[in-house]
Amino acid sequence: MSLFTRDNKDLDELSKLGHFLKGSSATLGFRKIRDSCQVIQQYGHRLTVDGVPEPDEAVCLDNITRALKKAREDTQDLEQLMRQYFGSD
């Protein structure tokens, strides 16, 4: 299941998913991924990362898109590190 697609622009749902993924990544100690998920959660609530209201939905979606891209990149980096550590290809 994809967190964000062209058809899924439901900010409330994106915020819930960001919150869930933030908690999971924080529990595992994946701080970079946690931070990206925090951005997704905040902008899903129509708030900046500083908690300031952001009424422009397009701005929220743009920030969520950037945060999701960053989370994907960080996940790929993490996967490489784990494969090296555990000695798997």
Q: Give the chain's domain count.
A: 1
Residue 1 inside a domain? The answer is: no
Poorest-pLDDT segment among 17-26, 70-79, 80-89: 80-89
The answer to whether residue 38 sits within a structural domain is: yes
**Token representation of residue 31:** 């701080």
- Confidence label for 8 from pLDDT (cuts 50, 70 and 90): low
Domain housing 80: 11-86
- Which residue has tokens 């945060």? 67
**Is the pLDDT reported for residue 3 higher than 60?**
no
User: Radius of gyration over alpha carbons of the chain, in Å?
Assistant: 14
Does the residue 15 lie in any domain?
A: yes
- Classify residue 6: in a domain, yes or no: no
Residue 43 resides in a domain: yes
Give the number of other Cβ atoms within 10 Å of residue 1's Cβ: 5
Q: Would 66 be classed as within a structural domain?
A: yes
In a domain, 70, yes or no: yes
